[in-house]
Amino acid sequence: MKKLVNDPADVVDAALAGMAAAHPELRVDVKQRIVVRADAPVSGKVGLVSGGGSGHEPLHGGFVGLGMLDAACPGEIFTSPVPDQIQAATAAVDAGAGVLHIVKNYTGDVMNFDMAAELAAAESGTEVRAVVVNDDVAVQDSLYTAGRRGVGATVILEKMAGAAAEQGRPLAEVARVAEAVNANSRSMGMALTSCTVPAVGHPTFELGEHEMEIGVGIHGEPGRQRVPLAPARDVAEMLLEPILADLPFAPGDRVLCFVNGMGGTPLIELYLMFDEVARILAGHRIGIERSLVGPYITSLEMAGCSVTLTRLDEELTALWDAPVRTPALRWGI
Amino acid sequence: MKKLVNDPADVVDAALAGMAAAHPELRVDVKQRIVVRADAPVSGKVGLVSGGGSGHEPLHGGFVGLGMLDAACPGEIFTSPVPDQIQAATAAVDAGAGVLHIVKNYTGDVMNFDMAAELAAAESGTEVRAVVVNDDVAVQDSLYTAGRRGVGATVILEKMAGAAAEQGRPLAEVARVAEAVNANSRSMGMALTSCTVPAVGHPTFELGEHEMEIGVGIHGEPGRQRVPLAPARDVAEMLLEPILADLPFAPGDRVLCFVNGMGGTPLIELYLMFDEVARILAGHRIGIERSLVGPYITSLEMAGCSVTLTRLDEELTALWDAPVRTPALRWGI
């Protein structure tokens, strides 16, 4: 295992200490593993909390800040945060207007966020609503999921719901926006290589030198099929066909097109993939209204990519364009 | 070779086509391989042109836009752009106030930028000045360089000189800022793995399972020493000791601390490294005034990192903070 680490058991805490040192605009509680925007709770504003296993950086801690999340709670690598931790994050951002939990659809995450919401309601009377992200069209159930997995749409949802909350909208409205983003988003990913969880020390799965995994999950869960290596244009077809068929996307739709890197794939390949995706979308007369290219929801050093399409209307486009100031996404301020 | 590509010979053009599709705010000439900000030439403004081999993305094309570069000209992977191409980029951004060439110190780049400047002067009378970036303390001469190599400081220099140009400063002033950034910056990198140039098809160099290369160049050039794998805190010491001794940095200095990913290293490891670097700087009573963490000057999918320190004064800090709007760095607007 070749990694920049000290003790493999200590990676999450050490990285959080690094975030604290690099981003004085955040409050990072390394012990409790909570990343909070420094001005939280923001008076009158709905609080947004997300979290999940570590190893997907910049998701979620890199998306804490004005116009996006109020707090993130990272678990161990590829492991859900615990209820007490989520409850503490919820309390830290509760300004009296309620809190929205943004939960990727994995069994442990859903259960622990649910318990945290009950604890928050019981102990401080906090009104908590949850949106469960389940945009991955690859598989119906999977290793860690009943129903679809939550993947790339999480990034888009956190940005758009964050903008709605920043505008002072009430909890029901922010939750409606979040549900709308999830309902209008579909994703699928692929891997050229596995990744290695530091505390495990060997690759999560084995892929032959001439194989790739289509429909892979962000923890290396198996996907739809293992196929021979193919040119980027064929990979783009394999990802786009199920995405487009599922919603379904239709001619005339305008989308946000997000080509995401899994962590070990260089940007030059992601732009090359974007070109292929754009060509397919043009062939379906689907317009790219906004785009995002880069590693935003990763699986440690896995090589591969995912594509997320979000169907836009005027409201969602404006929410995407709204100012945001986080370590990983920033514009307008 | 596991990569998201079609024809290995066509990677640069295909990625540029992807940039064009993803970033309508840029003018991308795929055929001539020039990325230009859409509103260039900007009346009265000094034009900033950089370029170099591809494979270091987002450098340089991802830094084209308001407050940073006016144009970038990418060569083949790890190969200098050609003089005609650089001259065309220079002409595209020449608004009559002169053009600054930002050149990383590699023999081919220096020669080709120099020829382009002569062509531009002869053909259109454009006043061109060049700044050569040579911040890498690892080696004095190297495979592709007489003198030190230009690495991470290039990112910082393009941002700060770009801000100075955006403020309308004259060419001599913008060049002075660029020289000041170079003079106050030192870098060193390391690799855990090699990378593979697509058209070559095999790794640039071989590293044993338990080895790493300290002082590696951004094209996989050999560094100072090949040593056994070590904990992150020791890696940080190996990078920081020569950086700090070289300028030298002194107690009381305020710095911009840039922990850069080489392309295949996940963000969680870069933040972990930032923590180690911050601890060393604190021990030397050097203050971190600004920070940058992420893959900004890469070597395809190489795993590893580099550290760049730039000593700040009020002027450079203000130029760093100034608004910027490019695909890879964006704030304030």
Judge: B193–A2 Cβ closer than 8 Å, yes or no: yes
* Number of domains observed in the structure of chain B: 2
- In this structure, the answer to whether residues B176 and B269 fall within a common structural domain is no
User: Does any domain span residue A5?
Assistant: no
pLDDT number for residue A144: 80
Give yes or no for a contact between A260 and A152, defined as CB atoms under 8 angstroms apart: yes
Domain assignment of residue A236, yes or no:
yes
Q: Indicate if B153 and B20 belong to the same structural domain.
A: yes
Concerning whether A202 is annotated as a catalytic residue, the answer is no
Q: How far is A145 from chain B (nearest CA, A)?
A: 25
Angle between helices A153-166 and A171-183 in degrees, nearest 10:
150
- Are residue B87 and residue B177 in the same domain, yes or no? yes
Report yes or no: B271 at the A interface, CB cutoff 8 Å: yes
Instruction: Choose among B4, B209, B272: nearest Cβ to A11.
Output: B272
Give the model's pLDDT for residue A305: 98
Percent of chain A whose predicted confidence (pLDDT) is above 90: 96
The answer to the question of residue A4 being in a domain is no
Low-confidence spans in chain B with pLDDT less than 50:
none
Q: In terms of domains, do B23 and B100 share one?
A: yes
Q: Do the chains contact at B18 and A54, CB–CB below 8 Å?
A: no
- Minimal Cα distance from A289: which residue of B? B22
Same domain as B294, residue B198:
yes
Co-location of B148 and B199 in the same domain: no
Residue B3 in domain:
no
Both B139 and B255 in one domain: the answer is: no
Chain A residues whose CB is inside 8 A of the B19 CB are: 271, 274
Q: Is residue A56 a part of any domain in this protein? A: yes
A69 and A36 in one domain? yes
Pairing of strands B225-228, B211-214: antiparallel
User: Looking at chain A, which residue has its C-alpha nearest residue B292?
Assistant: A22
Question: Residue B32: its pLDDT value, please?
Answer: 97
Taking the Cβ of residue B111 and every Cβ of chain A, the question of whether any pair is shorter than 8 Å is answered with no
Residue A98: which region, alpha, beta or left (left: phi > 0; alpha: psi -120 to 50)?
left
**Which residues of chain A are within 8 Å of residue B268 when distances are taken between CB atoms?**
11-12, 15, 54-55, 57, 77, 300
Rounded distance, CA A243 to CA B23, Å? 23
Residue B10 DSSP label: G
Point out the residue among B22, B58, B332 whose CB comes nearest to the CB of A274: B22
Q: Are residues B156 and B241 in the same domain?
A: no
Q: How far is A313 from chain B (nearest CA, A)?
A: 19
Do the beta carbons of residue B61 and residue B74 sit within 8 Å? yes
Q: Which domain holds residue A292?
A: 185-313
User: Mean of the per-residue pLDDT values for chain A?
Assistant: 97
Chain B residues near residue A266 by CB distance under 8 angstroms: 55, 57, 263-264, 298, 300-301
> Do B51 and B128 sit in the same domain of this protein?
yes
Residue B328 lies in a domain: no
The Cα B208–Cα B206 span in angstroms is 7
CA atoms within 13 A on the CB side of B236: 25
Mutant choice from B262, B271, B292 vs A, greatest count of A C-beta within 10 A: B271
B261 and B135, same structural domain? no
pLDDT of residue B221: 87
Final residue belonging to a domain, choices B184, B201, B217: B184
The reply to whether A78 and A122 lie within a common domain is yes
Distance from CA of A213 to the nearest CA of B (A): 12
Q: Is residue B92 part of a domain?
A: yes
**pLDDT (tens digit, 9 = 90+) per residue, A254-271?**
999 999 999 999 999 999
Tell me the CATH number at A293: 3.30.1180.20
Last residue of a domain, one of B184, B203, B237: B184
Residue B283 counted as domain residue: yes
DSSP H helical ranges for B184-266: 232-246
Distance CA A310, CA B29 (A): 28
- State how far the Cα of A29 lies from the Cα of A1, in Å rounded to an integer: 29
CATH code for position A175: 3.40.50.10440
User: Which of B18, B273, B276 is facing A272, going by the closest CB pair?
Assistant: B18
Domain boundary among B184, B202, B229: B184
What is the reported pLDDT for B143? 76
Task: Please give, rounded to a whole number of angstroms, the shortest distance from the CA of A127 to a CA of chain B.
Answer: 33
Query: How much is the pLDDT for B102?
Result: 98
Query: In which residue ranges of chain A is pLDDT below 70?
Result: none
